Amino acid sequence: MDLRKFAPFAGVAVLSVSLLAGCGGSSNNAASGGSSGAACPLTSAADPGNSQAPAGVPTADKAPKLTKTSGLKIAFSQNASNNPWRLAETASMKDEAAKQGLQLTITDANNDQSKQVSDIKGLIAQKPDALFIAPITEQIANVVKDAATAGIPVFLLDRAVDTNIAVPGKDFVSVMQSDFIQEGKRAAVQMAKATNGNAKIIELEGTTGASPAIDRKKGFDEAIKQCSGMQIVVSQDGDFTRAKGQSVAETLLQSHPDATAIYAHNDEMALGAIAAIKAIGKVPGKDIQVVSVDGEKDGLKAVAAGDLYATVECSPRFGPIAFQTMTDYAAGKPVKTLIINSDQLFTKDNAADNVAKAY
């Protein structure tokens, strides 16, 4: 979901990487084929960083009200528990609920969209005071609407839904997430540096229809247009999991033996891809450069080891912002319909130092 939809007139101020050429310097390696990256401005661009705070985002004024301020019963529909990122997000929600002494009911959809829809229907029937949802894909918008129709304020966590169906500020109070388009752009800059602006890229996409999969692709594609030497040779769904990432990478490395880089939409798929690269006797970080998104513990270790060139952070620690937003809403304070996290970048310069506090 393009975040500009939230503020169509004022717009989300997303930094253009083409305007950010400056410090940084490019690296040379076998995967670059040794060609000059002069035609690719991304090789010398600084990390574009987070997008600027979205301007002109409306506040939620038509969503069901939350008038209770104590003893709240909260529900959370988690979409899966199949990777460290999801486990960290759930733990963060539990920790915050415990800190505030609030009851939190959690369902796990096991990465199955129809299960998530039925989980949410079940939670609606329990009439929680507030409902947090981490959507699998943008297509669960109708059940989000159902919750609002039942008078339950909904807060979306980490992924968005189709806003043509579920109206921000009416069918849900707010969506809290990273700027996935910007993550794609940041990843593209790292990929350009890793490959000197010359790369035949295998893209491992996240779950089809999930907003991070849609937007991480979009941001990356947009950025590499500036570099004629960088092309995506094949792109396939790896479902955000290590096992699927590995099996898809194995197949694609065979069908595209000339590939020199892999862009994975999350660390788990990147780690699967690294295993696949090693299995065919190639060296990640030398023969094939890998860049991804998240910043999980194993991802940071892989960066420190030189297997993964860089990972753009996408923080899963939503508990504090989720509960603060809900508390503000209950207190009648204005709550924006879109709240964007700030994330950092992990490279060989800082990965090892961040392993201990990673999830």
Nearer to ligand AHR, 159 or 193 (CB): 159
Q: Least distance (Å) from ligand AHR to the CB of residue 198?
A: 27
Q: Least distance (Å) from ligand AHR to the CB of residue 297?
A: 13
Report d(CA 105, CA 182) in Å as an integer. 33
Nearer to ligand AHR, 205 or 294 (CB): 294
Q: Least distance (Å) from ligand AHR to the CB of residue 180?
A: 8
User: How many degrees, rounded to 5, is the angle at CA 284 between CA 230 and CA 16?
Assistant: 35
3-class DSSP assignment, residue 14: coil
What residues are paired with 59 via a beta bridge?
336
Positions touching ligand AHR (CB under 6 A) are: 83, 85-86, 158-159, 212, 240, 266, 293-294, 314
Q: Are strands 130-133 and 73-78 parallel, antiparallel or unpaired?
A: parallel
Nearer to ligand AHR, 212 or 284 (CB): 212
3-class DSSP assignment, residue 57: coil
Q: Least distance (Å) from ligand AHR to the CB of residue 141?
A: 16
Report d(CA 327, CA 325) in Å as an integer. 5
Q: Which residue type sits at 316?
A: P
Cα 325 to the chain's mean position, in Å? Answer: 20
Q: Which residue type sits at 235?
A: S
* Long-range contacts, stretch 158-161, CB < 8 angstroms, 24+ apart: 158/89, 158/134, 158/212, 158/316, 158/318, 159/79, 159/134, 159/135, 159/210, 159/211, 159/212, 160/1, 160/135, 160/211, 161/1, 161/135, 161/211
Q: Least distance (Å) from ligand AHR to the CB of residue 197?
A: 26
CB 346 within 8 A of CB 182: no
Nearer to ligand AHR, 173 or 314 (CB): 314
Q: Least distance (Å) from ligand AHR to the CB of residue 196?
A: 27
CB 307 within 8 A of CB 292: no
Nearer to ligand AHR, 14 or 156 (CB): 156
Nearer to ligand AHR, 32 or 77 (CB): 77
Q: Least distance (Å) from ligand AHR to the CB of residue 177?
A: 7
Nearer to ligand AHR, 168 or 212 (CB): 212
Nearer to ligand AHR, 83 or 337 (CB): 83
Report d(CA 341, CA 84) in Å as an integer. 19
- Per the rule left: phi > 0, alpha: psi between -120 and 50, beta: everything else, 70 is beta
Q: Least distance (Å) from ligand AHR to the CB of residue 226?
A: 25
